[in-house]
Amino acid sequence: MKHLNFLLLFVVIFFSCENKNTTNTPDQPTTDKENNTENNFGIIIHGGAGTILKKNMSDSLEAAYKAKLEEAIKTGYAILEKGGSSLDAIEKTINVMENSPLFNAGKGAVFTNEGKNELDASIMDGKTLNAGAVAGVTTVKNPINLARAVMEKSEHVMFAREGAEQFAEEQGLEIVDPSYFYTDKRMNSLKRAQKREQVELDHDDKTVFYDPFIKDDKFGTVGCAALDKNGNLAAGTSTGGMTNKRWGRVGDAPIIGAGTYANNKTCAVSSTGWGEYFIRGVVAYDISAMMEYGGKSLAEAAKIVIQQKVPEMGGDGGIIAIDHNGNMAMEFNTAGMYRASIDKNGKLEIAIYGE
């Protein structure tokens, strides 16, 4: 009998201790990873890379670029600071640049050989690896919005031309007359390019398409990469492509893995440069892959790809990127790249020219 009472007492004490430990479990401190996820966020943008030289830039134009870059990045940062998603920050930030004639995207898009503005864009969610892209649209005010609609409202990744525009109308996106995209500066660039019977690459002055009369009139593709407080990465890119382009030419901007890529395991990247080479090099994905499979840091991977791999193929340009820890990279091999960033502490950096 004594043995039975002792056994019962032991069981009662054991389960009492277990219950006590269980009730304490929710009060355990969060892990470092959870703290980092909550505290780390940031945003980085570009407005194109190319022959951007201080000597060719007026004070007023430089001020205009810096003001628009600041407006754009602060728009996205405000969303992130309030706990908003990286996708929302990407979309709204790019909208600011698409609506400005300063950049080769949306309102400031370059003209094709036929005198049209054909717009491309893409966006990618680093959490799900879902993505959306559009190519050759002519009536959608903000192509990045359409790219996101493709990602979220369809089972597909890329729509092009008339089909993409029909989808945009069905989704209730803002449709404009093609004349909305007209700017005198871009039309004059087209006329000069046609006169010389050359194809002007919007970002470049060192290729077979080089036109010395328009070498300093370089405005480019826009892009954004962001990390939100939930630890989710996203990236987006929007462009008008190449001046005097023909035959429905599409560059890297709407190509997932070339112009845009995001993966929560590694980083989010947006590219700007000579699209044909960025497509062949799968530049945005290559940076992520070097991090995931090669153990490289974001800075190391970006430098290898942009300073070695792309030039070895014959191309040039740059990227902006942010990794899952909030580290950022602005790598380019041209004379300059319009760029800006804001980290989790609110530190704003804006730059145009090379070091």
As annotated, the active-site residues are 221
Distance of alpha carbon 319 from alpha carbon 268, whole angstroms: 10
Token pair for 205 = 């002055």
Q: How many CB atoms lie within 10 A of CB 353?
A: 14
- Quick one: which of 339, 305, 287 has its CA closest to 48? 339
The beta strands (E) that lie in the chain are given as: 42-50, 119-125, 131-137, 158-160, 222-227, 233-239, 260-262, 267-273, 317-323, 328-332, 336-342, 348-353
- Quick one: which of 130, 163, 132 has its CA closest to 145? 132
Encode 157-204 in three state secondary structure: CEEEHHHHHHHHHHCCCCECCHHHHCCHHHHHHHHHHHHCCCCECCCC
- Quick one: which of 341, 266, 318, 354 has its CA closest to 89? 341
**Between the CA of residue 197 and those of 104, 191, 192, 242, 249, what are the distances in Å?**
21, 10, 9, 14, 17
Token pair for 259 = 């112009």
**Between the CA of residue 18 and those of 5, 8, 12, 29, 197, what are the distances in Å?**
20, 16, 10, 19, 83
- DSSP of 224-280, one letter per residue? EEEE-TTS-EEEEEEE---BT--TT---STTSBTTTEEE-TTSEEEEEEE-HHHHHH
- Quick one: which of 76, 46, 74, 52 has its CA closest to 237? 46
Q: Write the single-letter amino acid at 82.
A: K
Pair 288, 261: CB distance under 8 Å: yes
